[in-house]
Amino acid sequence: MSAPPGYEPEISQLEILHLRDIINDAIEGTLTPLELWVFNALVVERKSLRSLGLQIGRPKTTVARIRDNAIKKVRQSLKEHPAIIDYLENQ
pLDDT tens by residue, 6-17: 766 677 788 889
> pTM (2 decimals)?
0.76
**Domains parsed from the chain with CATH numbers:** 13-89 (1.10.10.10)
Q: Kindly write down the DSSP assignment for every residue of 14-65, as one continuous string.
A: HHHHHHHHHHHHHHHHHS-HHHHHHHIIIIIS---HHHHHHHHTS-HHHHHH
More confident call, 87 vs 73: 73
| CA 27 – CA 71 distance, rounded (Å) | 9
pLDDT tens-place string over residues 16-58: 899 999 999 999 999 999 999 999 999 999 999 999 999 999 9
